[in-house]
Amino acid sequence: MLGYRLSFVILLFAVSLSCGGCDLLLRILQKEMVEEQELFGDTYKYNSKVEELQRVLRDVSYNPGSADGKMGHRTRSAVKVFQKDRGLKVSGYVDKKTWKELNRVYREAVLSFEKSDVKQIQAALENAGFDPGPIDGKLGSRTKRAIKEFQKLKGLTQNGEVDSQTCEELRKYFFKLR
């Protein structure tokens, strides 16, 4: 990936030299690259923050490829599509505005899940080894007790409600459904 980064920088440098005044383009992209580096650190080798970005992109229906923790072509393409869909400047780099919007969209997706699909919550709890009672879509006392036990095990506030932190932890058990 270092070769890709170096090639990209050389290309930008050549473009800026060939069209006097194009140094603005270079400065804009450097700013976004710096912001991304501040948010994620090194994105050209395995990075757990990039892996999390890839999971978030997938959770909000953008395809970054495999969640391998590397900021490759497919991840950059998914970021570009997200930026375009959200009316952001399309660069493929995760600047602060892109990160803020991605988190907002992700939170909305989590909250809509929390309020609408008690059956999925119950199934996720069961997949995690807790007894929510019958998977019937009703938020009864057994389901609330299972949520509290799950929260306790995960070191979360034990309130029996599926807040964003609880939902985030439960998401790890959603894909075992069926």
Better-predicted residue by pLDDT, 174 or 113: 174
DSSP one-letter string for 129-162 = T----S-SS---HHHHHHHHHHHHHTT---SSS-
Confidence (pTM): 0.54
Q: Which domains does the chain have, with CATH numbers?
A: 2-111 (1.10.101.10), 117-176 (1.10.101)
Tokens of 153: 């095990």
Least confident residue range of 13-22, 58-67, 141-150, 153-162: 13-22
* Alpha-carbon span 114 to 162, nearest angstrom: 6
Tokens of 107: 């939170």
What sign has the CA pseudo-torsion 151, 152, 153, 156? positive
CB atoms within 10 A of CB 60: 17
* Alpha-carbon span 95 to 33, nearest angstrom: 7
**Average pLDDT for the chain:** 81
| pLDDT > 70? residue 5 | no
| Angstrom distances, CA of residue 162 to CA of 8, 10, 38, 67, 172 | 44, 49, 31, 26, 14
| pLDDT > 60? residue 37 | yes
